[in-house]
């Protein structure tokens, strides 16, 4: 039975899942869009939405609170340059409180027919 199993499982062990999640989020911040499988994208989207919420709060907060939020963001990105880019460039251009990413299905991968999606950061229109 699958009672109370709330996480989307990627099918790997824990440390591999965490490093995959971290790498995907870093690439998403750096390039503003990534191509990946549906399952991975849904897991990354859930984690990135929480990270982006902290970034938007840090962009609008006072200096002391902003420093604390930037440190929390840096825990996941492990790169101060990407943290500053997320808070100073991406989060300042967004004026909403949720729904920062979108999934666009782009078809199946040729090798194993996995459903692929484009995960994008939604910027100000």
The pTM (predicted TM-score) of the whole model is 0.89
Task: Give the pLDDT confidence score for residue 35 in this predicted structure.
Answer: 97
Q: What is the pLDDT of residues 97-118, one digit of tens each?
A: 889 999 999 999 999 999 999 9
Q: What is the pLDDT of residues 4-17, one digit of tens each?
A: 877 777 888 889 99
For residue 8, the Cα-to-chain-centroid distance in whole angstroms is 15
In degrees rounded to 5, what are phi and psi of residue 102?
A: -135, 150
Domains in the chain (CATH in brackets) are: 14-121 (3.90.1030.10)
Contacts of 78 (CB under 8 A, 6+ apart): 22, 26
Contacts of 111 (CB under 8 A, 6+ apart): none
Q: Residue 104 and residue 75: Cα distance in Å, rounded?
A: 28
Angle at 18 between CA 97 and CA 88, to 5 degrees: 35
């Amino acid at each position: 039975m699958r009672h109370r199993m709330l996480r989307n499982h990627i099918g790997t062990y824990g440390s591999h899942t965490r490093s995959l999640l971290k790498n995907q989020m870093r690439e998403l911040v750096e390039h503003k869009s990534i191509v990946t499988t549906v399952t991975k994208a849904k897991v990354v989207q859930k984690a990135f939405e929480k990270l982006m919420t902290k970034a938007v709060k840090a962009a609008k907060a006072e200096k002391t609170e902003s420093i604390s939020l930037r440190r929390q963001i840096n825990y996941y990105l492990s790169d101060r340059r990407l943290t500053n880019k997320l808070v100073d460039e991406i989060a300042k251009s967004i004026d909403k409180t949720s729904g920062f990413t979108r999934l666009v299905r782009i078809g199946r991968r040729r090798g194993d027919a996995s459903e692929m999606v484009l995960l994008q950061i939604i910027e100000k229109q």
